[in-house]
Amino acid sequence: MLYWLASASVKSVPEGGTMIFARRSIIGVFSGLTLVASIAVAVPANAESAAKADSIVGSSAVVWDEGARAERKVSSAEAQRIVSEYWTPERIAAAKPAVATAGPRNTDAKTSAQAPAGKAGTGSVPEAPSVTGGPSTQDAWFSYTTGKIYFVDPRNNGGYQCSGSAVNSASKSLVVTAGHCAVVGGGNGQVMRNWVFIPGYQNGSEPRGRFAAYWFHYSTGWSVRNDWQRDFAWVVTYANSSGQKVVNAAGGHGFRYNGSYSRYVHVAGYPGNRDNGQVQWYCWGTTDRWPGANAYRLGCNFGGGASGGPWLEDYQPNGLGYVISATQGLLDGNNSGPYYDSHVNDVFNNAKNQTP
């Protein structure tokens, strides 16, 4: 059984035997063709052998300084100022929901990737915010720990939007999202510009501030091979304008890796085909394995803008859970999420202690 819910009043609608929950105030459902920017991804012929060659990579964040009309690497204070000044309400409204195509279709899955090996593990545990004096959630269906991401794609200088979430670590500065929301797939380390995370975003409200990127951590499986099964990134962020680290301000989910493909999860994010991406939405149910791939599948039908939103195991009413994946793409109504294996944990371990 699968459910949808937005963080507002709801009604139940039966659809094909599955109970769907939707907002009463839905403005419209928009065509993915008009809302999203498509990002091509490749599926290697032998996913398991290719994955063995994947390496950990890190890249410094880059900002486009509109005043200087130049690309720059800057200090913490400058980054916060430049990125915040860049993302005006007009640019936020114009940002396009980014999406990558999941794959392959069931009929295209001629071979089955070998199941990942490795013992199920926990990389970190959830932590509530410590400096705001408030909880990590507004209600069970709205978490300040999950938020929106905005960035500029260096390939076309266009503005885009994704989803992401803060994850607890020693640095209290870490965000997890989809790789295509941070790094150019197959771009050999080319990163998105003016990247910013806004936890708890809701209809223009930014209750916990903005957190600009400091450093990106990812896999060569994404940055070199453009493999959708490695479409993930860990992002170390600067503090917000009040000097607060993201986990201290918004709380941090825990992180788990390896384990079963059948997991009961809550998928959170800001899909562009739900309230035009302005409202935090949830879908929950039990995942299965994407045919022929090392990835999860769940029929949420979350469109562009949901990319990078967390797939949360053991989600609690306090708005915190354990990230086991993040939304990667959409195909035939099914959302995909990369299987977070030991390699993803290795990248996490490379990122978890880093501070600006």
Residue 260 forms part of a structural domain: yes
Element (H, E) at 198: strand 193-199
CATH of the domain at 101: 2.40.10.120
Q: Is 188 helix (H, G, I), strand (E, B) or coil?
A: coil
Q: Are strands 142-143 and 121-124 parallel, antiparallel or unpaired?
A: unpaired
Q: What percent of the chain shows pLDDT beyond 70?
A: 78
Q: What is the DSSP string of 108-153?
A: G--SPPPPPPS--EEEE--B--SSSSS-SEEETTEETTEEEEEEEE
Instruction: Kindly report the number of other CB atoms within 10 A of residue 242's CB atom.
Output: 10
- Quote the domain boundaries for residue 182: 3-109+116-351
pLDDT digits (tens, 9 = 90+) for 211-258: 999 999 999 999 999 999 999 999 999 999 999 999 999 999 999 999
In the chain, the number of structural domains is: 1
Residue 47 forms part of a structural domain: yes
Query: At residue 38, what is the residue type?
Result: S
Using CA atoms, how far apart are residues 353 and 22, in angstroms rounded to an integer? 40
pLDDT digits (tens, 9 = 90+) for 111-162: 445 566 678 999 999 999 998 666 777 766 889 999 999 999 999 999 999 9
Residue 98 forms part of a structural domain: yes
Residue 189 forms part of a structural domain: yes
Instruction: Kindly report the number of other CB atoms within 10 A of residue 309's CB atom.
Output: 36
54 pLDDT tier (thresholds 50, 70, 90): very high
pLDDT at 120: 94
pTM of the model: 0.86
Residue 266 forms part of a structural domain: yes
Q: What is the DSSP string of 138-149?
A: EETTEETTEEEE
pLDDT at 80: 85
Residue 23 forms part of a structural domain: yes
Residue 168 forms part of a structural domain: yes
Residue 356 forms part of a structural domain: no
Tokens linked to 278: 């302005």
Using CA atoms, how far apart are residues 58 and 11, in angstroms rounded to an integer? 45
Q: Is 56 helix (H, G, I), strand (E, B) or coil?
A: strand
